[in-house]
Amino acid sequence: MPYCRMCGSGTVVVHISYAKLYLCQKCFLEFYVKRVKRTVEEFKMFREDDVVGVAVSGGKDSAALLHSLHNAFPKLELKALHLNLGIPEYSEHCESKVKTLTKILDIELQTYDIRKELGLTIEDFKKTKFKRKICSVCGTIKRHIFEEMAKRAQVRVLATGHNLDDVTSVMLNTFLNGQWTQLTRIKPILPPLTEGMAYKVKPLIRSPENENLLYCLYGELPIRTIGCPNSDTAGIKKYAKMLEKFSEEDPNFKHLLLNRFLELIPLMEEKFPKPTITRCRICNFPSSNEVCAYCKRISLVKGYQTRNNIVK
């Protein structure tokens, strides 16, 4: 039976194969927090005296993110931002987990309920042409509303829980499909598109998904225990599965891939300049079109509601 590499105790619970480390529960939690701290410092994501918004969904990644940032940077002012998407049962469940977590950590929580604010829910998109692309619509809606929430909360930086597995799967997908501009959007730190918007940062970019779950389990963090009924991740899962196969051969594979992509992105940025950004004539957010993707999607539901006299 191996001993914990950090404290020498015999109660090993985790084997970090890519780092050839056996760790006990306490040392694993410390190892995890240290890596988050190092990642923030490596990419200069924020300063210790910043106000940082954290997008929290009720899931393991964002719970691990909020908790580890709180531990790694005790002086940092954190604001948890939660979006209630109005998905039956699931959204209420997620919101209750977020409320418990922020209460434990004594962190301010701001919630945006799309039913109350916009008079619609993600479910309403099932009546539009996006009925088979609910997750894609949901992603567009989330990105836009989190920008708005970051502005309302007056945070300079918005941290999201994208983990190593998410990021490398999306990078591989965009790479193999030649979506160069999208590839450059998956950076660890994204500057604001226009003045007054927040920087977006990914402090978990070097943290594997399974370690986020272990951090929540060993740290006894409240996380959702049911899945979203609309979950449709087939496309990305294909790339995640490919990465798993490679990782069986080399446990360090995802870390290596991430590092190579991080070297590639500046070259791609040079070769494929960003499209010209104007402002959406409806919401005034930066957009490469006259009407942004968010407003186009919202107006589809609003149009349906108007045609059918639906008031929410």
| Residues engaged in binding ligand SF4 (CB under 6 A) | 85, 122, 134-135, 138-139, 228, 230-231
Q: Which is nearer to Zn ion, 213 or 283 (CB)?
A: 283
Is 197 one of the binding residues for Zn ion (CB under 5 A)? no
Q: Choosing among ligand SF4, Zn ion, none, which partner's interface includes residue 280 (Cβ < 5 to 8 Å by kind)?
A: Zn ion
15 and 22 in contact (C-beta within 8 Å)?
A: yes
Spatial contact of 174 and 132, defined as CB atoms under 8 Å apart: no
Dmax (CA) of the chain: 68
Q: What does 55 interact with, of ligand SF4, Zn ion, none (CB < 5 to 8 A by kind)?
A: none
Q: Is 295 one of the binding residues for Zn ion (CB under 5 A)?
A: yes
Q: 51 touches which of ligand SF4, Zn ion, none (CB within 5 to 8 A by kind)?
A: none
DSSP string spanning 105-128? Answer: HT-EEEEEEHHHHHS--GGGGGGS
Q: DSSP secondary structure string, 161-182?
A: ---HHHHHHHHHHHHHTT-HHH
Cβ contact 82:109 at 8 Å: yes
- Locate 1 and state its tokens: 């039976």
- Residues 23 and 19: their CA atoms lie apart, in Å, by 11
- Taking the least distance from each CB to ligand SF4, the nearer of 139 and 275 is 139
Q: Is 141 in the site for Zn ion (CB under 5 A)?
A: no
Closer residue to ligand SF4 in complex, CB, 134/301: 134
Q: Give me the least distance between CB of 178 and Zn ion, in Å please.
A: 27
CB atoms within 10 A of CB 1: 6
Nearer to Zn ion (CB atom), residue 105 or residue 283: 283
Q: Among candidates 101, 66, 78, which has minimal Cα distance to 157?
A: 78
In the complex with ligand SF4, the residue whose CB is nearer, 133 or 302, is 133
Helices (H) and strands (E) in the chain, counts: 11, 10
Residue 298 found at the interface with Zn ion (CB under 5 A)? no
Report the nearest approach of ligand SF4 to the CB of residue 256 (Å).
28
Out of Zn ion, ligand SF4, none, which partner does residue 69 contact, by CB within 5 to 8 A per kind? none
Interface residue list for Zn ion (CB under 5 A) = 280, 282-283, 292, 295
